[in-house]
Amino acid sequence: MTQQPSQDQALQEYLLRLADSALILGQRLCELCGKAPAVEEEMALMNVALDLVGQARNWYDYAAELEGGQRDADALAYRRDAHEFRNLLLVEQPNGDYAVTMARQFFYDAWHYFTLQALVNAPDERVAGIAAKALKEVTYHLRRSSEWMKRLGDGTEESHQRMEVAVESLWRFTGEMLTADAVEQHLATAGLAPDAEQLAADWQGLVNSVLTEATLSLPPADAWMQQGGKTGRHTEHLGFILAEMQFLQRAYPDAKIW
């Protein structure tokens, strides 16, 4: 019989999911430094990326403490292999054109916003505090990505078509965000993770509203969904992200600047 993880073990696993998703999406956005369609957009993207990396650091710090101090935040970020990462599959998808970049951001931001809203009321003061700080930043992220969905979806014929393609191509990665496994179900009963049904209802309501306003087609409710990121089964893209992101730590472990 499989032994159930303790609440601390479950919480540590969940914190890694939050941290890994924020870090990998932040890394993806950093790839656009010097390549954004406008200077203002480059500044905005880098600010969002920095917010996400900072949030990841806070979650990693707490996860490391729950692990017993065997590893610190840097070790969790830079010395784990792809199968040890717990990020959502959505965030590791390539940037593509700007429609893909913003559709990916919007789907994640909507999930992130409602997740943090729930965690602000967590009985664990550390979780609630990190969530409250992050929620201020993510509120801006969501407002910005929602506006871009509408601007591109209800813009020119070409921008509309590109956004339609982006939504269709990324939709299969959204179900994983809204499907709770045993870890999340266990934590939800203790108020340490969102209620899955409520999260799904909030996310779907907002996404449907924004897509409708953007004159974009609503994907079918019964569309097939990809799963696996939260348990370490990733697409081929994550390995390339980590190869670039972790190179310095892997090549020069414990290097210090004197």
The domain locations on the chain are 7-250
Half-sphere exposure of 68 (CA within 13 A, CB side): 2
Task: Name the CA dihedral angle for 86, 93, 100, 38, rounded to a multiple of 10 degrees.
Answer: 90
Residues with Cβ within 8 Å of residue 125, at least 6 apart in sequence? none
Which token pair is 37?
């369609």
Q: Are the C-beta atoms of residues 228 and 89 closer than 8 Å to each other?
A: yes
Nearest by Cα to 53 from 23, 17, 76? 23
User: What global pTM score does this model have?
Assistant: 0.95
Architecture of domain 7-250: Up-down Bundle (1.20)
| Per-residue pLDDT of the chain in tens (258 residues, 90 and over written 9) | 445 668 889 999 999 999 999 999 999 999 999 888 888 889 999 999 999 999 999 999 999 999 988 899 999 999 999 999 999 999 999 999 999 999 999 999 999 999 999 999 999 999 999 999 999 999 999 999 999 999 999 999 999 999 999 999 999 999 999 999 999 999 999 999 999 999 999 999 999 999 999 999 999 988 999 999 999 999 999 999 999 999 988 888 877 766
